[in-house]
Structure 1
Amino acid sequence: MMSHSAATPTLAWLKSNRAHVRRPVAITVGLGLAGGLLLIVQASVLAHLANAVIFDRAALPALVWLLAGLAAIVLVRAGLVYLVQQTAFAAGRAIKTEIRARLVARLAGRGIVWQRSQATGDLVNTLSDGVEALEAYYARYLPQSALAALVPLAILAVIAPIDWISGLILVVTAPLIPVFMIFIGRGAEKLNQRQWRRMGVLSGHFLDALQGLTTLKLFNLGAREARLIAKLSDEYRLATMRVLRLAFVSSLVLEFLATVSIAMVAVLIGFRLLWGDIGFTSGFLVLLLAPEFYLPLRNMGTVYHARMEAIGAAEGIVALLDAPADANPGSRCDGLVAGRAPAVALDAVSYAYPDGTQALTAVDLSIAPGETVAIVGASAAGKSTLALVLMGLLAPTTGRVTLDGIDRATLAPAYWRRWCAWVPQQPRLFHGNVRDNLTLGAIEVPDDALWQALERAQARAFVAALPDGLDTAIGERGLRLSGGEAQRLAIARALAAAAPFVVVDEASAHLDAPNEQALTVALGELGADRSLVVIAHRLATVREADRIVVLDAGRVVETGCHAELVAAGGRYAAMLAEGRHE
């Protein structure tokens, strides 16, 4: 449970972001205040109209202007209400866009290691429901907190000269509402924070269960997982009901205070009307305005719960935004030759994961432009880590990577990645059609180039057999495709890109022997005009590489072509003799 002292930074962060919505919030407050002033005018017109009809026995023609004015005021107030809603929506949209953009940028800056250590469901909950919960704070709470002070003051300024007794009652009872609201709200604030934590746990576990549903069914664990999700859901339901229970109690207290105060005003006005101490028009005007005096305060009690919900949601957002980036990225965006692979050199590169695991140790490696280099080694030798370092997705713990002699740490990450294409072990296919996944948003790639890439990746046949060809939806993560088809589609994506430096990490892991052989030929053709790094477990796929680099426990132990390494009789020859598929 987060204490009040822990909640203070979160509240300070919420306040610090007011600058992003200052203009729409100010307009919302101004329009709301204008509506409150028109409400006073409307009440005055109604009071005079009632007095004219009841006591002056005025005929309808004499009331036309009053009725027309009343109708005009009602219409203008309705228009103001509409504009208030629109400006409040604009404030909510502005803050959500800003915060989501910052969160996505921060997630990208944290790096792939941190991302893989996080619960996906919890992150999704923070970026979706968590950010949505901020809208009510900026679009409703901030404007209403200003109107709760301005509108009652305007009404009091009208009532006090007319009836000081009623004005005194309003002044004495009005502070009771925010006092009780804050007193009750502190308990609800803690409950809201606990509720958001439980939602994060439930979201993360539910998403993990969905993603691993096939595995759960294979191990006959579906019923157990369902019981666990039911338990977490019930805990979240109980937490939600505690929040709602306290919210209803606070609403009851606020309504009771407002109702009793209005009743006191009404009773005293009634007696003084009876005694002749106050005129009908003045008394009726006060009676009309008394409920409107408390209405902004009561509305403030309603939106105060939006403030507490925003504090609970902002806790996770602040934790993400305050998390430090893995490294300070460079900003240089020049130095590389467009369309040509750079000369890549690793100089004494070492990498250790946050848990202390040493993945690479003093790796020296150079890749000439247009060269095909294969990286092989036993399981956990550091091959995949080396692939991430080459792509710039991991920054070396020590040592440096240079591109045409330029330290890559000085280059902007987005600039270097324009030269790269990557085929990972588990390719990510997005919810969309085949064309979207091949181009990833690029609109200048013609269909002929896409079909050519598919053919070279041995994927043309199965894509052509799909109902709509390139326009066929493949589902999230390519659920409509087999593992081998998804892998080959990712390879085609790399082939379709204009990047001159390609890293293929275990590209043949999901292909049968004929497709693996065809892919080896296709990658050889690709390497004729691009630098190609192939990291594979199947040694048969690397025989034609210009150079083979053998890793063992994160160190380079051998380099050379296939014939040279076989003749040397070292680690590579031993793996080949054993038929190892690491």
Structure 2
Amino acid sequence: MTLTAPASPRAARTRRAPVDPRLLREVRSARSHLVRTVALGLVQAACVIVTALVIARLGAQLLEHRQLPQDAPALLLALLAALAVRAAAVLVEQRTAHRAATEAIGDLRGRIVAHAATLGPRGGAGRGADLTALATTGIEKLRPYLVGYVPQLMLAVTVTPLCLLTIGILDPLSALIAVITLPLVPLFMILVGKMTVGRSEALLADMRTLWSQLLDLVDGLPTLRALGRERGPEKIVRTLGDRHRASAIGSLTFAFLSSMVLELLATLCVALIAVSIGMRLVYGEMDLAPALAVLVLAPEIYLPLRNVGSQYHSSTDGLAAVGAAFEVLDEVPPADGAIPAPDLRTSHLALRCVSVLSRDGSAPHRADLELRPGRILALTGASGAGKTTAVQVLLGLLEADEGRAEVVDEHGNATDVRELDRRSLWDQVALLPQRPVLPPGTIRSVLESARPGATDAELEEVAAATGLEAVIAQRGWSADLGRSGRGISLGERQRLALARALLSPTPLVVLDEPTAHLDGGTEDLVLDLLRTLRAQGRTVLLIAHRSRLVDVADDVAVVEAAS
């Protein structure tokens, strides 16, 4: 399943509960928020009933006996207390709702990212920019759902029935009118829902598609600019923006129309009760006090349901976000093994006839290689042949469709990588992809994170060996870097990542085109760095296109694809 695809018609027709049970079952803050909202709803219902009864009593005394409200201080105090408690309940509900939404979003966001990482590079949950869109703006759709829709839904199941029961005690005829007209509100909600079905899923899919293509475009801008084609993609961006804007405006249009329809319906329903009470008051068939109480309570019957209807678009958006999040979380990650990985300083990794299916066949196809300890292995082949994929299989990040990756210890015992405790294997590997991933912090802290406790002399040595000393001379050791090394150029990030690899004590270093973003002078430093790593007795796996990198290797393995 691809997350960027719009929702299928079958998915759009699937009925969903107003509150997703998975959200309540697996997200503690959402469950606590629901329980707290129910309790606050009961408090508000009690305050509404007390307020109506007190106002009715004060109004009846004023109109029938000319007794001013200040002549009944106990009733005034009761009224003020009910209003104050209700206001406090509403305030607590709103404040806790925002806090609960923030905690729930943070919880789901962390679980999405962590789970997607365990799925591997080709996890069915989707990767890259699409996952970024879901974990940022996509999951934020949950906020209006928890802050707006869920509280109104809980009020509808607490305030509405209690007020209806009170009206039934005071005036059964008004209660009968309310019971007959009340189903009209959910009926119109269903009609509105049928018009908006699938719209939220389509809006979320459009937004994530826009994010994915925009981020891909930004990543490819240097290449487009080098080829002189940076002026073309704005048409694609404009088309994507127009499509997203049309989806958003369509959703807002239905939201405003549904609010207007429900507002008009609730007003007419209250008017029916008011007309009935007015006619009976004129003919003396009803006392004034219960009539006033019923008139105050009648709007409170319809208000929660009306608000639920007006918040319906928040419900669909929130449920769509929850569904997309659990699509990621429901993906089954590859099972981890239990065997500790052997020491890679004396063991070697190998691929045995490994093939991985791709769009056009398999890449790599029947790949065989051995990575012996203390040597440099250059992995070569045409672009798209599956060199990076082969490395991912070798490190247990991806399962092969054919063949297997194995670790052979010093005694010649071979163990399938899938049977190993992957963490014990990855702790012995320093991986440097083409686009380095760096933690935020200063240049010094980023280097020290590769080897805690490194001395100043060691830091200066690796900086000189990788050409990083020029960056340090210009910016200083305390230069603050953003996430993934933001604030320095891509080439400087590459040097910093190389310095981290050299400083790391891991016995295996994997370099994916380490000279891709470096000039000729810095490329010489990288070649010297490879020789230094070999002199230290460390094993190096090198994905290489340039002949100078291949020349420095001890062994060469060629990877090929097959259609």
Q: TM-score surpassing 0.5?
A: yes
Moved more, 235-244 or 82-91: 82-91
Q: Which residue does the alignment assign to 1:84?
A: 93
% identity of equivalent residues: 31
Q: Which residue does the alignment assign to 2:16?
A: 11
Moved more, 120-129 or 444-453: 444-453
Closer, same or farther: CA 172–544 of 1 in aligned 2, 3 Å:
closer
Structure-1 separation of matches of 2:61 and 2:376: 97
Mapping 1:56-71, distance limit 5 Å: 56-58=65-67, 62-71=71-80
Q: Which residue does the alignment assign to 1:353?
A: 357
Closer, same or farther: CA 231–350 of 1 in aligned 2, 3 Å:
closer
The answer to whether 1:203 aligns with 2:207 is: no
Structure 2 counterpart of 1:328, which letter?
Answer: A
Deviation at 1:421, TM superposition (A): 0.2
Deviation at 1:201, TM superposition (A): 2.5
* Aligned-CA RMSD value: 3.3
Deviation at 1:300, TM superposition (A): 1.1
Closer, same or farther: CA 251–484 of 1 in aligned 2, 3 Å:
closer
Contact 1:387/1:505 (CA < 8 Å) preserved in 2?
no
The answer to whether 1:185 aligns with 2:201 is: no
Mapping 1:284-323, distance limit 5 Å: 284-314=292-322, 316-323=324-331
Deviation at 1:417, TM superposition (A): 1.2
Question: Residue 252 of structure 1: which of 260, 264, 268 is its match?
Answer: 260
Structure 1 counterpart of 2:350, which letter?
Answer: L
Structure-1 separation of matches of 2:193 and 2:425: 51
Q: Which residue does the alignment assign to 1:134?
A: 142
Mapping 1:66-145, distance limit 5 Å: 66-113=75-122, 120-145=128-153
Q: Which residue does the alignment assign to 1:329?
A: 336
Deviation at 1:154, TM superposition (A): 0.5
Give the match's secondary structure for 2:509.
strand
Deviation at 1:229, TM superposition (A): 2.1
The answer to whether 1:158 aligns with 2:166 is: yes
Structure 2 counterpart of 1:106, which letter?
Answer: H
Contact 2:255/2:312 (CA < 8 Å) preserved in 1?
no
Structure-2 separation of matches of 1:353 and 1:8: 34
Closer, same or farther: CA 475–2 of 1 in aligned 2, 3 Å:
closer
Structure-1 separation of matches of 2:502 and 2:294: 78
Q: Which residue does the alignment assign to 2:495?
A: 488
Higher RCO (CA-CA < 8 Å; seq separation 6+): 2
Structure 2 counterpart of 1:500, which letter?
Answer: P
Structure-2 separation of matches of 1:32 and 1:443: 53
Structure-1 separation of matches of 2:288 and 2:478: 75
Give the match's secondary structure for 2:65.
coil
Give structure 2 stretches of 5+ with no counterpart. 1-5
Contact 1:144/1:296 (CA < 8 Å) preserved in 2?
yes
Structure 2 counterpart of 1:18, which letter?
Answer: L
Structure-1 separation of matches of 2:483 and 2:229: 24
Q: Which residue does the alignment assign to 1:373?
A: 376
Deviation at 1:288, TM superposition (A): 0.7
Structure-2 separation of matches of 1:342 and 1:180: 72
Give the match's secondary structure for 1:112.
coil
Deviation at 1:43, TM superposition (A): 1.6
Closer, same or farther: CA 298–544 of 1 in aligned 2, 3 Å:
closer
Give the match's secondary structure for 1:471.
coil
Give the match's secondary structure for 1:55.
helix
Moved more, 189-198 or 505-514: 505-514
Deviation at 1:242, TM superposition (A): 2.1
Give the match's secondary structure for 1:25.
helix
Give the match's secondary structure for 2:404.
strand
Contact 1:331/1:411 (CA < 8 Å) preserved in 2?
yes
Moved more, 245-254 or 505-514: 505-514
Structure-2 separation of matches of 1:60 and 1:250: 40
Structure 1 counterpart of 2:355, which letter?
Answer: Y
Structure-2 separation of matches of 1:271 and 1:552: 90
Q: Which residue does the alignment assign to 2:368?
A: 363
Deviation at 1:434, TM superposition (A): 2.9
Moved more, 393-402 or 530-539: 530-539
> Per-residue CA shift, 1:155-191, capped at 9, x if unaligned?
1111112111211111110110001101111211222
Contact 1:360/1:385 (CA < 8 Å) preserved in 2?
no
Give the match's secondary structure for 2:97.
helix
Structure-2 separation of matches of 1:4 and 1:118: 21
Give structure 1 stretches of 5+ with no counterpart. 556-582
Q: Which residue does the alignment assign to 1:394?
A: 398
Structure-2 separation of matches of 1:335 and 1:120: 29
Moved more, 352-361 or 441-450: 441-450
Structure 1 counterpart of 2:21, which letter?
Answer: K
Mapping 1:449-488, distance limit 5 Å: 449-466=458-475, 469-474=476-481, 478=485, 480-488=487-495
Deviation at 1:285, TM superposition (A): 0.8
Structure-2 separation of matches of 1:438 and 1:550: 32
Mapping 1:219-230, distance limit 5 Å: 221-230=229-238
